[in-house]
Amino acid sequence: MKIVIALGGNAILQKGEKQTYSTLIKNIKKTCKSIIHIIKNNKVVISHGNGSEIGYLLLQNEIAKKEIPAMPLDVLGAESQALIGYLFEEQLRNTLRENKIDLPVANIVTQVLVDKNDKAFKNPTKPIGPFYTKEQSKELIKKGFKIVNDARRGYRRVVPSPLPKKILELEVIKDLISKKVIVIAAGGGGIPVYLDKEKLKGIEAVIDKDYASQLLANSIKADLLLILTGTPYIYLNFMKKNQIALKKLTTKQAQDLINQGEFQDGNIKPKLQAAVNFVKISGKKAIITSPENAVKALNNKKGTLIIR
């Protein structure tokens, strides 16, 4: 089976953790162990988020701008994609060896085409970087940043998140899959680029990882889109006394919930919408669950299943 595994930011950094090298290694190693048995028996492409990492790079830009020239958001996307991709490749190779699995791994720094006139540039919604207190958020708003309360977990900066149109390295990715290579691609949603008189240019944005993963999954004709996030299921009334785990949804049921405003931008909403889009186009299925429940989800024992 051909599977795209889309890893959320929690696979890299948990809420409240500092982005230290040891913390990144610990979390990535744990995630690799959670998905190794899926990798062993399937053709797998792995994508990953970069919300925390690119946010920290932006902070570094801000702090150091008097001494070091700041880089635009697309370059920071490339930096974070390579940073996380390298660590995933390293720990995945280690986990493969530990399990006596002889498969090659390749990390592809991926460019993704967007429309420079996408309405997202006028309405930033993509949360990036660390969580802030309400008091800290007020100070950032004074500096001109747009801040939102991210799913009641805390305050975060948001940036434009245009829809992905085309993965430029697609043919390379397809070729690697055909050679049974485990591919890491479209990290952080890919580097946002657009065409200007037939020339590629980067643009200040962060593409949503789940939409990019869905595009990738449909483009390679995957049999399953597996989206791994911080919870074992999608929930109605999340983090409230009356929260309800959603175990199985048709695309119509899921789309109705999205249209009714049940989920927030930048969190569960894009995950569920990406799953719906994938299933509608492919006729296959999508699952949303946590990394530690990934294997159980494939055996229909955990996770929110989205079907036609």
> What sections of the chain are H helices per DSSP?
21-40, 51-64, 73-98, 134-142, 170-178, 209-219, 251-259, 268-282, 294-298
CA dist., res. 68 & res. 85, Å (int)? 25
SS3 category, 160 = coil
Query: How would you class 135 by CB atoms within 10 Å of its CB: exposed for 0-12, middle for 13-18, buried for 19 or more?
Result: exposed
Structure tokens belonging to residue 49: 């988020």
CA angle 131, 134, 137 (to 5 degrees): 65
In sequence order, the β-bridge partners of residue 12 are: none
Q: Is 165 a catalytic residue?
A: no
Q: Is 144 a catalytic residue?
A: no
SS3 category, 237 = coil
Catalytic one of 10, 50, 107, 218: 10
CA dist., res. 164 & res. 114, Å (int)? 5
Q: Is 9 a catalytic residue?
A: yes
Catalytic one of 129, 187, 190, 271: 271
Catalytic one of 9, 85, 266, 303: 9
Contact criterion met (CB below 8 Å) for 8 and 151:
no
Q: Is 209 a catalytic residue?
A: yes
In sequence order, the β-bridge partners of residue 215 are: none
Catalytic one of 43, 209, 269, 284: 209
Catalytic one of 49, 77, 107, 126: 126
CA dist., res. 26 & res. 85, Å (int)? 15
Q: Is 49 a catalytic residue?
A: no
Contact criterion met (CB below 8 Å) for 130 and 181:
no
Q: Which of 38, 46, 42, 41 is nearest to 12 (CA)?
A: 46
Q: What phi and psi values does residue 24 have, to the nearest 5 degrees? A: -60, -45
Active-site positions?
Answer: 9-10, 126, 209, 271
